[in-house]
Amino acid sequence: MAVDFIYPEFEVIRNEDRCIACRACERQCANEVHFFSTEREKMMSDESKCVNCQRCVSLCPTRALKIVKSDCTLRENANWQNETIREVYKQAASGGVLLSSMGNPKPMPVYWDKILINASQVTNPPIDPLREPMETKVFLGKKPDKIRRDEKGNIICDLPPQVELSMPIMFSAMSYGSISYNAHCSLARAATELGIVYNTGEGGLHEDFYKYGKNTIVQVASGRFGVHEVYLEAGAAIEIKMGQGAKPGIGGHLPGTKIVDDVSRTRMIPEGSDAISPAPHHDIYSIEDLRQLVYSLKEATEYKKPIIVKVAAVHNIAAIASGIARSGADIIAIDGFRGGTGAAPTRIRDNVGIPIELALASVDRRLRDEGIRNNVSLVVGGSVRSASDVVKAIALGADACYIATAALLALGCHLCRTCQTGKCNWGIATQRPDLVKRLNPDMGSERLVNLMTAWRHEIMEIMGAMGINSIEALRGNRLMLRGVGLNEKELEILGIAHAGE
């Protein structure tokens, strides 16, 4: 119907002087935007199908292609913006809930960008990481509150189970099913090479990847997909997923079309059936229930694995975290509202939850106020985009950061935010074999290792400039941070002074 018509969001601009009609764009576009017209003897495009994933642009050997935002707009209106109006049209036509992928794209405050880092001048020396040792190793897990000695007076060196990381970064949960075999393979291999961990997400662990178990966190989510005894014992830690930053309070739905072959076997559900994760764990309606699941998992793994409880950053996150810290969990993972997802209801993604910076600051303070910060380690995610974000998170009080979007970008993701279609041209968020093979894990893992190596260098440079030579001396060191352009309340919550103070 004419009333439903929405002018395509993007235009495909093809430089006719450069196009050699090699048809690489046509072969590479799963959305079938490009085609060769034999009558006209040239390449044509149907931009209505374009999602601006930039695959064709990246592969065009003569740089003949570019994708631009269409300038066909509705009449300008600051209140009723184009996007808002289009969404109304879509819903009027479909009657459906709007779906989106990846993190919140709205111009919400990014506190990382309003925090500045300190450096040493005169009164103490900066440390050059190229000349002096600079340590980034961290141990996640509960720390004993009392030193005990044996009858000879020697310290009894028994620790609760810990996760050892060579640097304070972990690859965040993305399930096999939501992302491809090759994406998982790249993450697992890179984590192993780097001495960090990746996370299975709630899709189980493919049999080929058990060998990377020491660098794997196995997740137990509300759907309990792929959970069995060997799975629980395979990882370095077990994560109970209570919520996700992109969609707090919302479950998951992996469409049956993605439940193919190995995915179905790994998830332990029939091929083609929708994988629906309920919004709550139906055995956890309260904090005391969480405690039972934590201890069930500990019992199942003979108290050898740290238990992570992952929650979305919501309004009363400090109280929730305090409850979790007393539940027997060893690590709390908090996911901020800018975190990514393979698919989420748009309204939820863009409007529910709070920024991770504020959640982290208030949780860290609350746990210290209650004297239970040592009971748990704190891992934060939800749009940690760079080494400086990591440094700021650690200085605010995190033990480590979860990254996912940055890792996907390293694998080739161009943030076109249409993961939910399953036609990822970069071979990441898809199960179509012809698309999956576009991500060669040799390249993927190498690029992830490169990215993390680069970040680690940057973290060491920033630490060295501050005169800090070990990451633990940075953790919770808020004096190293100053705010710019923040109001008093924001500064108070972040627990930092304003620049110039």
Partner 1 sequence: MKRVYVNEEWCLGCHLCEYNCAFANSGLTDMAYALKGKPIFPRIHIEGNEKVTYAVSCRHCTDPICVKSCIAGALSVSEGVITVDRDKCVGCLTCVLVCPYGALSPSEDGIMQKCELCLKNSCGEPACVTGCPNKAIVYEERGAAN
Partner 2 sequence: MLKEGQIRIPSGCAISAIISRDGNRMTGEDIVKSMIPMHDRSNGLGGGFAGYGIYPEYKDFYALHIFFDSRTTRKDCEAFLKEYFEIVEAEIIPTRKMPEITDEPLIWRYFVAPFQSMLADMQLDEREYVARIVMKINTELSGTYCFSSGKNMGTFKAVGFPEDVGTFYKLEEYEGYSWMAHGRYPTNTPGWWGGAHPFTLLDFSIVHNGEISSYDANRRFIEMFGYKCTLQTDTEVITYIMDYLVRRQGLTLTEAANVIAAPFWSTIGREPDEETKKRLAYLRTVFPSLLVTGPFSIVLGFTGGIMALNDRLKLRSMVVGEKDDVVYVASEEAAIRAVEPDAENIWAPAGGEPVIVTVKEGAL
Binding site for partner 2 (CB under 8 A): 120, 123-125, 127, 132-133, 135, 137-139, 143-144, 146-147, 149, 154-155, 157, 159, 162, 368, 371, 373-374, 397, 466-470, 472-480
228 contact, one of partner 1, partner 2, none, CB 5-8 Å limit per kind? none
How many residues touch partner 1 under the rule CB under 8 A: the total is: 21
- Least distance to partner 1, CB of residue 254, Å: 25
Among residues 44, 57, 59, 232, the one that binds partner 1 under rule CB under 8 A: 59
Q: Which of residues 423-452 bind partner 1 (CB under 8 A)?
A: 434, 437-438, 440, 442-443
Q: Of residues 256-315, which lie at the interface with partner 1 (CB under 8 A)? A: none
The option from partner 1, partner 2, none interacting with 135 (CB < 5 to 8 A, set by class) reads partner 2
Q: Select from partner 2, partner 1, none the partner in contact with residue 157, using the beta carbon and a kind-dependent cut-off of 5 to 8 Å.
A: partner 2
Picked from partner 1, partner 2, none, the partner binding residue 461 (CB below 5 to 8 A depending on kind) is none
**Minimum Å distance from CB 59 to partner 1?**
6
Are the CB atoms for 177 and 259 separated by under 8 Å?
yes
Least distance between partner 1 and beta carbon 426 (Å): 11
Residue 438's binding partner out of partner 1, partner 2, none, with CB under 5 to 8 Å set by partner kind: partner 1
Nearer to partner 1, 37 or 91 (CB): 37
The interface partner of residue 189, options being partner 2, partner 1, none and the CB cut-off 5 to 8 Å by kind, is: none
Q: What residues does 138 pair with on adjacent strands? A: 165
Smallest gap from residue 18 Cβ to partner 1 (A): 4
How far is it, in rounded angstroms, from Cα 408 to Cα 438? 14
Which one, 49 or 447, has the nearer CB to partner 1? Answer: 447
Contacted entry of partner 1, partner 2, none for residue 28, CB cut-off 5 to 8 Å set by kind: partner 1
CA pair distance 147, 125, nearest whole angstrom: 34
Q: Provide the β-strand partners of residue 276.
A: 253
Toward partner 2, which CB reaches closer, 40 or 149?
149
**Hey, what long-range contacts does 410-415 have (CB within 8 A, 24 or more apart)?**
410/444, 410/447, 410/448, 410/450, 410/451, 411/183, 411/186, 411/439, 411/444, 411/447, 411/448, 412/438, 412/439, 412/444, 414/52, 414/53, 414/54, 414/55, 414/58, 415/102
| Residue 272 to residues 132, 264, 360, 424, 431, Cα–Cα distance (Å) | 56, 8, 39, 19, 12
Q: Is residue 340 within 8 Å of residue 316, measured between CB atoms?
A: no
**Cβ count within 10 A of residue 259:** 24
Asked if 397 contacts 475 with a C-beta cutoff of 8 angstroms, the reply is: yes
Stretch that binds partner 1, among 57-65, 224-232, 308-316, 384-392 (CB under 8 A): 57-65
| Minimal distance, residue 321 CB to partner 2, in Å | 15
Query: What DSSP character marks residue 155?
Result: B
Q: How many H helices and E strands in the chain?
A: 15, 21
- Bridge-based pairing state of the strands 216-220 and 138-140: unpaired
CB of 317 to partner 1, least distance (A): 42
Contacting partner 1 within 12-51 (CB under 8 A): 17-24, 27-28
Kindly state the smallest distance separating residue 478's Cβ from partner 2, in Å: 5
Shortest separation between residue 419's beta carbon and partner 1, angstroms: 20
What does 256-301 look like in DSSP terms, one character per residue?
Answer: GGG--HHHHHHHTS-TT--EEE-SS-TT-SSHHHHHHHHHHHHHHT
Distance CA 212, CA 223 (A): 24
Q: By C-beta, is 61 or 95 nearer to partner 1?
A: 61
SS3 for 102-125 is: CCCCCCCCCHHHHEEECCCCCCCC
Among 438, 441, 222, 429, which Cα is nearest to 340's? 429
* Inter-residue contact 490 to 111 (CB < 8 Å): yes
Applying CB under 8 A, among 5, 61, 150, 154 the residue interacting with partner 1 is: 61
Binding partner of 138, given partner 2, partner 1, none, CB within 5-8 angstroms per partner class: partner 2
Q: How far apart are CA 160 and CA 138, in angstroms?
A: 15
**At its nearest, how many Å lie between partner 1 and the CB of residue 407?**
19
Amino acid at 317: I
Nearer to partner 2, 124 or 286 (CB): 124
Interacting residue ranges for partner 1, rule: CB under 8 A: 17-24, 27-28, 58-59, 61-62, 64, 434, 437-438, 440, 442-443
